[in-house]
Chains A and B, each alone.
Chain A
Amino acid sequence: MNKIVSTDLHAQDISTIQSSAQPAERIAVGRRGFLSAGAAIGGGLMISLVLGKARPAMAAAPTTSTVNAFIVIGTDNAITMITPGGEMGQGINAGLAQVMAEELPVDWTTIKTQQAPFGAQFGRGATHSQVTGGSNSMRGWFPLMLQAGATAREMLLAAARQTYPSAPQPLKAVAGAVQDANGAKLATYGQLAAVASTIALPAAAPILSGPGSYKLIGTSMARPDVKLKVNGSAVFGIDVRLPGMVYAAVRHCPTLGGTVKSVPAAPSGSQVVNLGNAVAVTGANTWQANSRAKSLAVTWNLPTASALTLADSAGLASAAQTLMTSATPAIAEQIGDVTAGMAAATKKLNVTYSVPYLAHACMEVLNCTVSIKKDASGTVTGCEVWAPTQAPDWVAATASKLTGLPLAQVIVNAMFMGGGLGRKIEQDYVTQAIKVGLAVNKPVKLTWFREEDFGRDWFRPSALSRVQVGLDAGGAITAWSNRIVSPSLTRSHGGVPKNGLDGISIGHATALPYANANRLVEYIEQPSAIQIGYWRSVGESISAFVVESVIDECALAAGSDPYQYRRTLLAGNTAALGVLDAAATLAGWGTALPAGQARGIAFSPGFGSLCAIVAQLALTATGTVKVVRISAAVDCGTAVNPGQVVGQMEGAILHGMNAALWQQATFAKGVPAVRNFGSYPMGRMADCPKIDVTIVSQGSTLGGIGEVGVPGVAPALANAYATLTGTRKRSLPLGIVVAPKGES
């Protein structure tokens, strides 16, 4: 028996528990420990276990000790950092491990990272949230990760003091080992881990090294998961395989809102499960399951024709126009007197912008694997889920609800995500997999083919936004009013918009950084039967396109340079100016361009960070436009891993560019038009402009980095296009650049 101990950082105490831990290739952190821990919250005792895993055991594998919930150290000195953020490409596993490693000095090259399963000890804040979204992971977990590393360090030092009582003090932790006061190595962490795991947590919070002496934070460390992602060994959700597993594929009603009317008998050798708005069919492999699902003669109950106008692009577009002029808006922001400001204006703008619904198009389609155990009487006794998910705690709640098991008996393994983008926060695919698992009495992996993934997305909402601006003779804004018509994300997720408002749908349309004493921002909720959801920068992707395009229109109306115009309106806002200036400098704003080229600029703060983007466009010989270059400046406070910050910006810029130039999801009487990439263009190597990113470091608070690069891209492109051609584009997609080959 191997003694395994773990402590939670909220706890003041520690306990030990016996477990039959098996050496494992991939360490599984069990949920059972949390069961006892859950009862102990407040009582000051928190335990978690390291359990064996049903995976090929390595010969003579080392045993491991969990020093605390986040750090597992093997007798072979292998250190696994259990990182609570969901890894969907943003490098959060490595980033959070890097923060832990700042306080627990290690040899970084020996580090492994593993995503935490469901378990409150991994959550942040009072609710123990494990949700990765809103660019919150680094901001949310940073303090806890410092504490985790420092606590582990103190426990290892205490273990060394106990083991080597006569060693010259003070002892020091250095790169995976403890040294005495003279620098002589006493023992490696691996040698100390078992003892360390029995040490009581220090009563006081350990002293942190502090920003002044950071060695890893702020350095572009290599991501441990990259090694797994170049040889096919990274296990994404879709790669999970269990002994005796069957494969299931899903086919939804072709019309949104439709339900299953009748299901024919299952094809021989398969099972069919009625999922309400879809059927799932099993097969010996994913392809067979999907082929069967596609050919199954299901009949459907369709919504009424009038209901379908709420799921029809043309119908929704005209309804939005009507709402804009006839509905009573809710007031999101009102400062000063817009009417008076407008009366004082010498120039007025009245412009309307629109953006479409958008899909996520994560490269990894939705999937979820479930193993459900039942006793002889058919009562569910266990449920384990493997999901590519941004919210393992929500998956656990879903599983608990559907199986009737207490949360503590549900195990959720959060797998690598092949992109998340806000789609993998939803529970629909998880719900389906659990229902199928309950029905088929075998472990099952449920997969949505690409057509289902596009057809039943939770789409980025559409919006219609009318902006009226008054300018004085000098070009200063005397009044700004913005009325937004858009569906509500709150309502789409079963809530009711409070006071008729939806902050996520409004994005950053309020609290603009630009000088303006009179402002009014209004919101009108548009009823829609399109399921809408979170999307990399959601509301900000809408509001920034509108606001930053209109600011450009103001600059042109005032006869000002768009960059200098923004500078004037941002006067006194040093941090904003720092970022705006950095982007302008990087892009060479104001320097001569070849004939037929132009630049556009946008400033787009969000997610606790500041960002400015400059796009450079060129007219081609055939009269189309090419994106030549995008330059970006970002201030996210502390760039924990600058290389990954730049990577996130590059990715965000290309994500924003795909959406701005080409993408839209449309619906014809409830039938989604986009079913594969052929009608949802994604840029390739050939479409990728030169991208330059500069990180601005000016002492700001730690901000998010996953999303802030997206919103400014569309307006920067539209602004460049207006300068290049004199034509203002007020709706997305811009349609100014030829779509990637073969796509429309």
Chain B
Amino acid sequence: MITLKVNGTSYQVSSDPSTPLLWVLRDELGLTGTKYGCGVEICAACTVWIDGSPEKSCDENVGSCAGKSITTIEGLSPLAGGATHPVQLAWIESQVPQCGYCQSGMIMAVAALLKGNKKPTDAQIDSALSNICACGTYPRVRAAIHKMIGV
């Protein structure tokens, strides 16, 4: 049994320790907001926070996550299931998502960026966000961030 702390709740997980965290979140814990896109650390759809920093959950063995604090999109807003985090509010205001599939990972990456850098430059935004959005929401992602940081 592996003890996982996800969004403030402790879970006992019986999965093989080599299982990527992504699939434990989705299939064992039912936290399907975190998405699978490539499985090989390219697309960032699976981005969650591990001990506060953005990580690609398709490449984290669940065994190595024991005891660490994991935050998923479902836990981003202080209100469980809510959408009140400033990035979420900005995303609604700017109507960023299209299909929305990449947006959990995108939002987790943006929220992590803004935690550590209140006013990122465009170059910093570009390098922090490696997320693939096949729908092409990048102009709105940038516009929403700009609005948030007053650029």
Chain A positions near chain B (C-beta within 8 angstroms): 87-91, 220, 222-223, 225-236, 238-239, 241, 247, 284-288, 361-365, 416-419, 421, 449-450, 643-644, 647, 650-655, 676-678, 682-686, 688, 690-691, 741-743
Are B32 and A419 neighbours in the complex by a CB distance under 8 Å?
Answer: no
In the complex, A238→B101 CA distance in Å? 10
> B65 in the interface, Cβ–Cβ < 8 Å?
no
Measured between beta carbons, the chain A residues less than 8 angstroms from B134 are 361-363, 419, 421, 655, 682
Distance from B90 Cβ to chain A, minimum over Cβ atoms (Å): 9
Are B35 and A652 neighbours in the complex by a CB distance under 8 Å?
Answer: no
Sorted from nearest, which 4 A-B pairs have the closest CB atoms?
A232-B33, A418-B101, A229-B100, A654-B136
Smallest CB gap from B99: residue in A: A89
Smallest CB gap from A420: residue in B: B99
In the complex, A685→B26 CA distance in Å? 27
Distance from B86 Cβ to chain A, minimum over Cβ atoms (Å): 11
A363 contacts which of B101, B127, B142 (Cβ < 8 Å)?
B101
Chain B positions near chain A (C-beta within 8 angstroms): 15-16, 19-20, 22-24, 26-28, 30-40, 42-43, 45, 72-74, 76-77, 81-83, 88, 91-92, 95-104, 107, 125-127, 129-142
Are A678 and B97 neighbours in the complex by a CB distance under 8 Å?
Answer: no
Are A652 and B136 neighbours in the complex by a CB distance under 8 Å?
Answer: yes
Can you pick out 20 interface pairs between chain A and chain B where the beta carbons lie within 8 Å of each other?
A223-B95, A226-B96, A230-B83, A230-B97, A231-B81, A231-B83, A232-B33, A232-B104, A285-B15, A364-B35, A364-B99, A416-B99, A419-B134, A421-B134, A450-B36, A450-B39, A647-B95, A651-B135, A677-B40, A684-B132
Are B140 and A230 neighbours in the complex by a CB distance under 8 Å?
Answer: no
A238 contacts which of B36, B88, B107 (Cβ < 8 Å)?
B36
Q: A650-B139, A650-B140 are in contact. Are A684 and B101 (CB under 8 A)?
A: no
Are B38 and A89 neighbours in the complex by a CB distance under 8 Å?
Answer: no
Q: A230-B83, A232-B31, A682-B132 are in contact. Are A287 and B19 (CB under 8 A)?
A: yes
Are A418 and B100 neighbours in the complex by a CB distance under 8 Å?
Answer: yes
Distance from A232 Cβ to chain B, minimum over Cβ atoms (Å): 2
Measured between beta carbons, the chain B residues less than 8 angstroms from A88 are 99
Distance from A712 Cβ to chain B, minimum over Cβ atoms (Å): 15
- Most interface-central of B38, B77, B125, B142 (chain A CB within 10 A): B38
Are A232 and B72 neighbours in the complex by a CB distance under 8 Å?
Answer: yes
Question: Could you tell me the dominant secondary structure of chain B's interface residues?
Answer: loop
Smallest CB gap from A90: residue in B: B98
Distance from B26 Cβ to chain A, minimum over Cβ atoms (Å): 7
Are B26 and A286 neighbours in the complex by a CB distance under 8 Å?
Answer: yes
Measured between beta carbons, the chain B residues less than 8 angstroms from A684 are 126, 129-132, 138
Are B33 and A247 neighbours in the complex by a CB distance under 8 Å?
Answer: no
In the complex, A208→B23 CA distance in Å? 50
Smallest CB gap from A363: residue in B: B101
Measured between beta carbons, the chain B residues less than 8 angstroms from A285 are 15, 19, 23-24, 26-28
Smallest CB gap from B133: residue in A: A363
19 new A-B contacts, CB < 8 A, other than A226-B97, A678-B42, are A87-B99, A89-B99, A91-B98, A227-B83, A229-B103, A230-B83, A230-B103, A232-B73, A233-B33, A241-B32, A286-B36, A288-B23, A363-B37, A418-B100, A419-B134, A650-B137, A682-B134, A684-B129, A685-B125
B27 contacts which of A229, A286, A363 (Cβ < 8 Å)?
A286
Measured between beta carbons, the chain B residues less than 8 angstroms from A361 are 134
Are B101 and A230 neighbours in the complex by a CB distance under 8 Å?
Answer: no
- Most interface-central of A229, A288, A416, A686 (chain B CB within 10 A): A229
Q: A285-B23, A287-B19 are in contact. Are A231 and B88 (CB under 8 A)?
A: yes
Distance from A358 Cβ to chain B, minimum over Cβ atoms (Å): 13
Smallest CB gap from A644: residue in B: B95
Distance from B101 Cβ to chain A, minimum over Cβ atoms (Å): 3
Q: A419-B134, A651-B136 are in contact. Are A678 and B40 (CB under 8 A)?
A: yes
Smallest CB gap from B103: residue in A: A229
Distance from B1 Cβ to chain A, minimum over Cβ atoms (Å): 15
Are B107 and A230 neighbours in the complex by a CB distance under 8 Å?
Answer: yes
Q: A227-B83, A285-B19, A688-B138 are in contact. Are A222 and B99 (CB under 8 A)?
A: no
Measured between beta carbons, the chain A residues less than 8 angstroms from B73 are 231-232
In the complex, A446→B44 CA distance in Å? 22
